Chains A and B, each alone.
Chain A
């Protein structure tokens, strides 16, 4: 395995727009909102940017293709802009592009911006995407909740968990995220909910009810990265560096080979193992201080706790019910509200996760600040359990 990028790249500044139903803003305004905050945080001029990576997933409802939407909106100084798209993991891809550019020495300072304007469709939930010409002729014309809900049936079958116990555990996942999101002024959903509310909500895709599904939001997030040396030279304190960035993409095994049992994410386990190795982490349950995972649905978060090797196999239900991942638990998860409550503007989500880890590590997370976190992890997933892209990123205080 390659030596990796541990501590080669520092985060110079980050920004994130208010997420939510942003009837007031188009994708351009959202990008500008995140960008200006990040630029102010970094304390640099646009001319200091060497290159940019731009992520947006659904180009058919607003933002457009190519690198131009970003360059135009931000009036970038004619630098390279690369548009990346990897389903819901697109935001992490933009960050990875910028980080790799700096790590390689090709850029001193690079920008990553992710955006999604979802609320121009006229209906709730995610837009129905274009899947090419062959896929629609045989794949079920389902929905994201319908695909992710299947984890529940397979997880129950594998671990012998009864319907009610699993429903209650995933309800707790959402109750916890709502409690966290209520403290986040930029979050889409800021209401606390009870377990009874979650369990009694209308069914979206068996067994996922309304509160088991994340918000469908507009928003943008941005990161500016550089080398630790440049950051130091600029007088930056509490420098946060990238410890690992790994991405694993399905090759058809889950959807076509009978070795996968449907209850977990094959890619997440691979990406997590590689990321821990790159970051030098050998006991994640003890070493990871906090996480932002891809909680598109409550069941996704639950099984992900095992895929990231924080909970033992089959042990996530107990950990969740014990409050292990609550704000006051051992490894707080979705401290900013997660996709569930901060919201899920697809192209921005991976960057939004990194934003929270960055704020927490710098002690700037306000009311939701955790006590002295050292290592933060983000897990950003695109696709469906049977075919997906999984990104795992680890960040931490420089020198830790």
Chain B
């Protein structure tokens, strides 16, 4: 019997809206690091204070899955990252809860290496091939933390990508791949450390990339049966410049023109997510049905996977992906804000911030679908929907008892009823915006806003909902998540921004 074909069946992407202008970094640091002035070009993605690798992965996954309520088809979830918020709490479990996946989902965290994203993908492909997973979700995400005044803070970015792996409706068939495991320590982050420790770049380039990547290419070509000349898209995160990568490809017989954009200019390298970020970007831009592409990720060796694009690729045309995420941007020129969001500045938050943020885990679990999945209730008798769900309906015309079924709010259309921009309460990004959000199909939630363009908020504005960090409990190293509303600035509202701000 011929082996079942497996491959990618869908994709999604998420790059945080904020784009820190590199010039604002290099100019602020010019007094101590004039050598970086030349790197002050373009922009890097920058997570908002309430984003981490988990929340970004959730956004990429939601892009992939679309707004459908029913997510029971997802039977496995592989999450690759080196910046997971919890060392011991299943991070993919948080994602599964936010996405309202079934309890029966196989959720796995893949960590500790830059190739965590590709390794997660390989695991999903193996599971699909073995018939153990029919629809696996592969998410890769990194919220990269660096010390101030480093090359890394300029080169890195934050972001996430999602691909689905399965056997039906394949958009890119998996032809084969290889993993090399080599304990080449170009950088490391010790158990108790916040930041990477990096070895000399020239050594990493010449002894690492230049020697290890070609071996992975060769192995993957052999496994996939593809020839070097067939590779139309060569996807390798690498910060040594396009010329270096082209030479690397060429030495393996791959057309230098196949080397794909690392998005260094407008995104920055998103760590373990980056190979998949580049893959999704390529699938949205240059990939055509019939093209063969190779995805690689270097780190503790190298992963290399070969795919062939099918004519089903067009099924993904509506996805935001990486292209759409890159277009949804807000320029940030405040380097201090970047340092503050990343915990690199000890700043006075005021006594109001001293309040204990201890989370009752019992309460969290008892209300898990509400808090993690934004699931409320719908009365099966009257159809009235509400948040949160309750035994007695809020419906003023009929307080029915025990009639409610779970009702998901996260993907529903909503707009702002009332709001304020509050300078008094503590916020990591003041003023603190929040307000009453009403849903088109019923229900309302008083909730925090995020990614707000100050001065544009008004009653009646549309919002979309996002899964974000609600609060940090710094005393205990916990963070709690909930959903927030992002006001959607329409193009007509944008042109009236000046007027609204008056």
Contact of B315 with A by CB under 8 A: no
Contact of B359 with A by CB under 8 A: yes
The listed residue (B370, B424, B471) touching A204 by CB distance below 8 A is B424
Do residues B352 and A123 form an inter-chain contact, with CB atoms below 8 A? Answer: yes
B419: min CB distance to chain A, Å: 5
Do residues B444 and A138 form an inter-chain contact, with CB atoms below 8 A? Answer: no
Count contacts between A and B, CB distance < 8 Å. Answer: 139
Do residues B351 and A140 form an inter-chain contact, with CB atoms below 8 A? Answer: no
Do residues B446 and A139 form an inter-chain contact, with CB atoms below 8 A? Answer: yes
Contact of A362 with B by CB under 8 A: no
Do residues A257 and B420 form an inter-chain contact, with CB atoms below 8 A? Answer: no
Report the contact-size class of chain A (Cβ under 8 Å from the partner): 35 or more
Do residues A153 and B419 form an inter-chain contact, with CB atoms below 8 A? Answer: yes
Q: Which of A242-262 contact B (CB under 8 A)?
A: 251-253, 255-259, 261-262
Do residues A204 and B360 form an inter-chain contact, with CB atoms below 8 A? Answer: no
The listed residue (B418, B425, B444) touching A151 by CB distance below 8 A is B418
- For B395, B435, B448, B460, the residue with the greatest tally of chain A CB atoms inside 10 Å of its CB is B435
The listed residue (B386, B421, B480, B482) touching A257 by CB distance below 8 A is B386
Contact of A147 with B by CB under 8 A: yes
Contact of A399 with B by CB under 8 A: no
- For B394, B447, B480, the residue with the greatest tally of chain A CB atoms inside 10 Å of its CB is B394
Which residues of chain A are within 8 angstroms of B352 by Cβ–Cβ distance?
A: 123, 125, 128
Which residues of chain A are within 8 angstroms of B418 by Cβ–Cβ distance?
A: 150-151, 153-154, 262-263, 385
Do residues A256 and B367 form an inter-chain contact, with CB atoms below 8 A? Answer: no
Residue of A nearest to B395 (CB): A257
Contact of A203 with B by CB under 8 A: yes
Contact of A143 with B by CB under 8 A: yes
Contact of B253 with A by CB under 8 A: no
A22: min CB distance to chain B, Å: 20
State A133–B364 Cα separation when bound (angstroms): 9
Residue of A nearest to B370 (CB): A138
Contact of B459 with A by CB under 8 A: yes
Residue of A nearest to B354 (CB): A128
The listed residue (B388, B416, B420) touching A145 by CB distance below 8 A is B420
Given contacts A137-B470, A206-B420, contact A154 B386 (CB under 8 A): no
The listed residue (A143, A252, A385) touching B424 by CB distance below 8 A is A143
Do residues B363 and A205 form an inter-chain contact, with CB atoms below 8 A? Answer: no
Given contacts A137-B480, A257-B386, contact A121 B351 (CB under 8 A): yes
Contact of B36 with A by CB under 8 A: no
Given contacts A137-B480, A138-B370, contact A255 B420 (CB under 8 A): no
The listed residue (B357, B422, B480) touching A142 by CB distance below 8 A is B422
Do residues B396 and A146 form an inter-chain contact, with CB atoms below 8 A? Answer: no
The listed residue (B390, B446, B471) touching A386 by CB distance below 8 A is B446
Q: Which of B321-364 contact A (CB under 8 A)?
A: 350-352, 355, 357, 359-360, 362-364
State A385–B443 Cα separation when bound (angstroms): 17
Interface flags, A163-205, vs B, CB<8A=1, else 0: 1000000000000000000000000000000000000001111
**Residues in B lying within 8 Å of A, measured CB to CB:** 350-352, 355, 357, 359-360, 362-364, 367, 370-371, 384, 386-388, 390, 394-396, 416-426, 431-432, 434-436, 438-439, 442-444, 446-448, 458-460, 470-471, 480, 482, 502
What 9 A-B pairs come out closest when comparing CB atoms?
A: A146-B422, A150-B418, A140-B434, A133-B360, A149-B420, A262-B418, A143-B425, A157-B459, A206-B421
